[in-house]
Structure 1
Amino acid sequence: MSVPARLSLGMDRADITPRHPVPLAGYATRAELGPATDVSAPLRLRTLAFGAGRERAVLISADLLWWGTDIATRVRRDIAARYGLRPESVILHATHAHSGPQTSAGFTALLGDPDAGYVAELEAAAVASAGRALGSAVDVWMERVTCEAGIGTDRRSARSDGAVEPAPIDSDVTVVRFFDEQRTRALMVHHACHPVVHHGNVVTSDFTGAAMDRLEERHGDVLAVYLQGCCGDVNPDLYRDGVFRDGDQSLVDEVGGRLAEAVEKALKGEPTTLTATSPAASQWTVELPVTDVPSVSDLRRAAPGDGLMGQWARLLLEEPQRLRPHVTVRLSRLHLADGLTLLGMSGEPVSAYGLMVRTISGGSVLPLGYTNGMTGYLVTARQLAEGGYEAAEAPYYFGMPGPLAPEAEEILRDALLDAIWPSRLS
């Protein structure tokens, strides 16, 4: 029997908890609460550096709501320049935790104002972490295993108390284990569910961070890296009569424990052995059409308002280049092994896209949201017809010129197919 090829793996963990009170991002209801002064759980930045042959790539997963496109561009450029990488070989991913600082000035203030001092510290921490990971490589083998987690629910249906027909969601957890002759070195945990258990004005990594912390404690000297899937319409199953039952850190730890136990269950399953290849990274953009693009006169009429639409109008008047009939989504592809590719989207994709990618690829391609920037929600034509927050309201929070057009779904699906099968592009 031939021995599968190994991959060079470097690892690093850094604390990115704010060192001074900062406004939090994630809930518009916090806009009037001021900076958060308490920390229930630290925020972490976890870095994996991959290498084989001459190629190297860096994946950073941070307990953040997202990496704003502005900061992501700077950090990726700085890491690439300092360590001799191609910018497309640097992947910045966020767990989508809703109780950390804002990282972008590109959205309405209701999503949270960025703290310049914190953003500077975050950028420096990411660059330094990439360097430490690149300098700490060991040779590892890889294997992949999947089982059902059963943590999330279709939140659009749950919010309506069943009035909206539930859509299928991706309820699996996929674990990639990196190991050598001595022990497990790292775990990549892929799942799709909003980390929104905690709604208070307190810093926490929410249940995804709690789960990774628990896995690291349980397995000793292991780095557990969470990869957030297509969770735009998925919340933890904490609804009662259409109302979400949020809680404090104890509930965060409880839900995190459920995810950690799902990972442990997966690790007891029959794994698929992966044969490493040279890390192959690529990046491209797709333009998705929008509807109802306003005129400048429309914006001027709305600009004096105090609420969301006033903020939105002022943002677009300050940045008139946004007044286009489309928005740009950045796609990032990182192929690590025969049977393992990461596919990132700079947006908040709903389950339909994640299910499509995982089903068509046979589970070999893991779809990621919140990667290398943030555009807005990536919804389906059905959801646009139904309306609701993700489809009809959120575009204005994100400073999009209007909601996505129904034909955006087909365009995005085609782009994802091209990413699954790059030969379609040749």
Structure 2
Amino acid sequence: MSLSTMLGAAKVNITPDFPVELQPFHPRLRADGQTSVVNRPLHVRTLVFRQQTAEGDRRYGVLISADIIYFVDQRVHSLRRKMAERWGIEGNAVLFQGTHTHSAPFPGSRVDASEDEAYMDYIELLEARIMESVEQAMANLEPVVLERGTGTCGIGTYRRRIVDGSWTMNPDLTVPVDQELIVLRFRRPDGIGADGGTASPGSVKALLVNFACHPTTTCDNAISSDFPGAAMDELEQELGGGAVSFFLQGCCGDVKVATLRGDRYYDGNEEDVARFGHELAAQVRVVLEAPMEHRAFVPFRFRHKRVQLPFQSLPSPEELLEALKATNIREEWAGILLGFPHLLREADPLEIHYYELGESFSIVAMNGEVVGEYGRFIKTQYGERVLPVGYSNGHTTYIPTARQLAEGGYEGDYVFYRHGKPSPYAPSIERMIKEGMVELIDGRQN
């Protein structure tokens, strides 16, 4: 089958021009509520791939990366419906990912759609700008060639350490994290070498940068795209010509940017954002300046699988009523579950999507805060073929390992109560998720 693959790219501002409440990841520093301060603007970046056969049949693959913490389920459903109605794009062909900056407005309620009203001003702005970005990308489709390169970046640290007998969110530099930096470069055909191999300097349409690290650099009560936005902005300015640099967040649920002071993390500011962003951009440049390998596009394939992740237990009504008397996170937890009883279920659905677009250009995406072990597992199983990512196509909660669930701490215990889950997941989820990803990637389940 003769295939022609084209790429359109767009970058659209999604910064609100009205006061907003930011993600409350550090209430002590955000006690003053809404803010209109913009330290670094927010953007949505969109890559639209269109593949056409000699017979004229067309198929799309769409990647959307927004400077938000993540997309919530109901907004993903809404946007997919709009794109299908307007352009005929199949739902599973669209990847929605948040870069996971914690300095952006709420993109909707993670608890229930009925709570979206409080955030609707920003939701409407965000969805309108996303649709605009797809339209812009559709308008500049052109042929491209694909190149791949790898490097490393050392700004991430493992963020779990025992302090006074308890697992805390503190750096443990003895535990290695995935430092791999993957760069895909999309060039216009004038940049391809005469032998069809390594490209000579030419015209860059877009970059895709895949790296795994929590963007929690700054706790200021101000809007910021954090280090991913800083890095992509810097690369775009250097490339010029309207090139779009697209950040694809990896599996970083237990990896935090290295705001280190001794054996503790400190609360950074925009100077730190710029520093880490510049370091990431510098390491991307190292990859771009070395020979990159040509890769071919392949017939697009999109698959989806849902894995039901069981909870350890379900609380009784009496237990929830008793928890309402607490003065800690259990009071908030009980209030959520009593207010939304449909959340008292035996399992949560983990949505796993697989996108196959080119040689060494496949993506397995999950709708949770996936810890690093799952990314390492995929890379061990499939090498450079598959990019593992989290924070995609909705949001459930943290996806820890069996060991972390046994240890407890933020990722293995506390966060489940903060997010209104019946209890932490059962340890069996690690086996279920790994088996599910392999089945999906290998095409053994649609």
TM interval, short-chain normalised: over 0.9
Partner of 2:37: 38
Partner of 2:329: 308
**TM-score (ref. length: structure 1):** 0.93
**What does the per-residue CA deviation read over 1:265-321, in whole Å, with 9 as the maximum and x for residues that have no partner?**
111233232111232222221111111321222222323556432222222122212
Which residues of structure 2 form unaligned runs of 5+? Answer: 53-57, 191-201
Distance in 2 (alpha carbons) for counterparts of 1:165 and 1:31: 29
Partner of 1:25: 23
CA contact (8 A) 1:55 1:280 kept: no
Give the deviation of 1:124 after TM superposition: 1.4
The structure with the larger Rg is: 2
Distance in 2 (alpha carbons) for counterparts of 1:340 and 1:50: 12
Match of 1:141 among 132, 142, 145: 145
SS at match of 2:296: strand
Which residues of structure 1 form unaligned runs of 5+? Answer: none
**Amino acid across the alignment from 1:409:** E
SS at match of 1:399: coil
**What does the per-residue CA deviation read over 1:124-172, in whole Å, with 9 as the maximum and x for residues that have no partner?**
1112211221232010000111111111111113986989684432111
Partner of 1:217: 237
Partner of 1:185: 205
**Amino acid across the alignment from 1:44:** H
Partner of 1:234: 255
Partner of 1:176: 184
**What does the per-residue CA deviation read over 1:359-417, in whole Å, with 9 as the maximum and x for residues that have no partner?**
21112111111100000111001111211101111112222221011111100111111
Match of 2:270 among 243, 249, 252: 249
Residue 158 to residue 101, structure 1, CA distance change in 2 (3 Å) = farther
Give the deviation of 1:98 after TM superposition: 0.6
SS at match of 2:355: strand
Residue 162 to residue 302, structure 1, CA distance change in 2 (3 Å) = closer
1:47 and 2:46 equivalent?
yes
Distance in 2 (alpha carbons) for counterparts of 1:135 and 1:161: 45
Distance in 2 (alpha carbons) for counterparts of 1:285 and 1:11: 30
**Amino acid across the alignment from 1:52:** Q
1:200 and 2:204 equivalent?
no
Give the deviation of 1:44 after TM superposition: 0.4
Distance in 1 (alpha carbons) for counterparts of 2:80 and 2:343: 23
Partner of 2:382: 361
SS at match of 2:92: helix
SS at match of 2:233: helix
Partner of 2:306: 285
Partner of 1:93: 97
**Amino acid across the alignment from 2:13:** D
CA contact (8 A) 2:324 2:332 kept: yes
SS at match of 2:44: strand
Identical aligned residues as a percent:
34
**TM-score (ref. length: structure 2):** 0.89
Give the deviation of 1:229 after TM superposition: 0.1
Give the deviation of 1:10 after TM superposition: 0.7
Distance in 2 (alpha carbons) for counterparts of 1:190 and 1:294: 39
Distance in 2 (alpha carbons) for counterparts of 1:88 and 1:114: 29
CA contact (8 A) 2:304 2:440 kept: no
**Amino acid across the alignment from 2:276:** V
Residue 114 to residue 374, structure 1, CA distance change in 2 (3 Å) = farther
Partner of 2:409: 388
Aligned residues: 419
